[in-house]
Amino acid sequence: MKISARFSRSAWWVIWLVGLHTMIVLLHGMAHRALATPSTPADDTFRIVVITLLPILAVPLVLRGRRAAAGLLALALAASWLYGVLNHFVLAGPDYVTLVDANAWHIVFVVTASLLGCIEAAGALLAAWLFWQLFPLLPRNPAARP
């Protein structure tokens, strides 16, 4: 896999961020199951497709310099962040952190929900930055290239 020198540091950030995101998503999912939080088929589909699969599938394409993949990663992580913040911290529902049964998994649930919010926000910003860096809107001056 060829990664340009210009994006190598960013590429490593994307790899680490999505890898960490995936591990925390899996741990958070285990907490959901242990706490028996109810969910709808729409919730399950969103969690599987947008929160779990899209970031993983976007990584190899982002590393190849695909602008659309960086945009897709930014949108997936931003949507995941919004979904998580609303369901865990804003709307009183089965996923609301203070309404979930208090047991050993409650701490894992709250901590992973908080970590996901931070990672998804940072990942969305990084992917958006990559989106604009891969193909800037303004044309570059060919005479100014080194």
Q: Mean of the per-residue pLDDT values for the chain? A: 87
Query: What per-residue confidence (pLDDT) applies to 109?
Result: 93
Higher pLDDT, 92 or 21: 21
The pLDDT tens digits of the residues spanning 89-110 come to 999 888 888 888 788 899 999 9
The percentage of residues in the chain with a pLDDT greater than 90, rounded to a whole number, is: 58
Query: What per-residue confidence (pLDDT) applies to 138?
Result: 47
Task: Give the tokens for residue 15.
Answer: 């790899």
Does the structure show a pLDDT above 80 at 127? yes
Which residues, in sequence order, are CB contacts of 74 under 8 Å at separation 6+?
A: 124, 127, 128, 130, 131
Token pair 């919730």 in the structure block, residue = 43
Query: What per-residue confidence (pLDDT) applies to 100?
Result: 81
Q: How far is CA 145 from CA 2, 3, 18, 131, 141, in A?
A: 22, 20, 33, 21, 7
2-5 long-range contacts (CB < 8 A, ≥24 apart) are: 2/64, 3/63, 4/65
Q: How far is CA 54 from CA 35, 36, 95, 144, in A?
A: 26, 25, 22, 37
Query: What per-residue confidence (pLDDT) applies to 92?
Result: 87
Does the structure show a pLDDT above 60 at 145? no
Query: What per-residue confidence (pLDDT) applies to 142?
Result: 57
User: pTM for the full model?
Assistant: 0.83
Euclidean distance between CA atoms 17 and 22, whole angstroms:
9
Query: What per-residue confidence (pLDDT) applies to 33?
Result: 92
Does the structure show a pLDDT above 50 at 1? no
Which residues, in sequence order, are CB contacts of 61 under 8 Å at separation 6+?
A: 68, 69, 72
Which residues, in sequence order, are CB contacts of 37 under 8 Å at separation 6+?
A: 94, 95, 100
Phi, psi of 3 (to 5 degrees): -115, 125
